[in-house]
Amino acid sequence: MAPSIKVGDTIPKGEFGYIPYAPELEDNLACGVPGKISTDDWKGKKVVLFSVPGAFTPTCHTNHLPPYLAKHAEFKAKGVDVIAVVAANDLFVMSGWARFEGCKDKILALSDTYAKWSESLGLSVDLTERGLGLRTARYAMIIDDLVVKYIEVESAPGVSVSGAEAVLGKL
């Protein structure tokens, strides 16, 4: 899959569903307050954005998100303002996944509803044959003041170019 966006491009405007972390969410019966985050919020910031096909799916849940969380301090030490994971799951699922993983406010779990924003970048994948429908592809980006500095898409199952180690190496 070749994305339509490339290094040096300005990211298109997008809006993601998001439930911000709050201590009340430690109660598993709390759902949080739904909101939105816009790519406009990233103006003047260095953002590491990685995308997974689905929350709680095997590779995403065990191999993709956990290393980003474990290396949070390393990303911050390299000047990263925001670390975000995006998937086509709804914002309540993304919030639940982030709580299960222990992300708190370290990694924003964003809902790219119907993979619309990812599709605008050429970064969606149709997993209908596997019962999952249209999803976000597995990719990672470094965005600095809305400009793409790094973008890589996984060409095979698993995590390599979109993983925490690969992205840290490009900062």
Q: How far apart are the first and last CA of the chain?
A: 24
Q: Which residues pair with 125 in a beta bridge?
A: 135
- What is the model's pLDDT at position 77? 98
pLDDT (tens digit, 9 = 90+) per residue, 84-132?
Answer: 999 999 999 999 989 999 999 999 999 998 889 998 998 876 665 765 6
Nearest to 94 by CA among 127, 124, 136: 136
Residues labelled as active-site residues: 60
| Three-state secondary-structure class, residue 133 | coil
- What is the model's pLDDT at position 127? 62
What sign does the CA torsion over 32, 36, 40, 46 have? positive
- What is the model's pLDDT at position 59? 63
Task: Give the residues of the chain that fall short of pLDDT 70.
Answer: 1-2, 58-62, 125-128, 130-134
Nearest to 95 by CA among 80, 107, 83: 107
- What is the model's pLDDT at position 67? 96
Tokens of 71: 């290396």
Q: Which residues pair with 83 in a beta bridge?
A: 48
- What is the model's pLDDT at position 69? 96
What structural domains and CATH numbers belong to the chain? Answer: 15-170 (3.40.30.10)
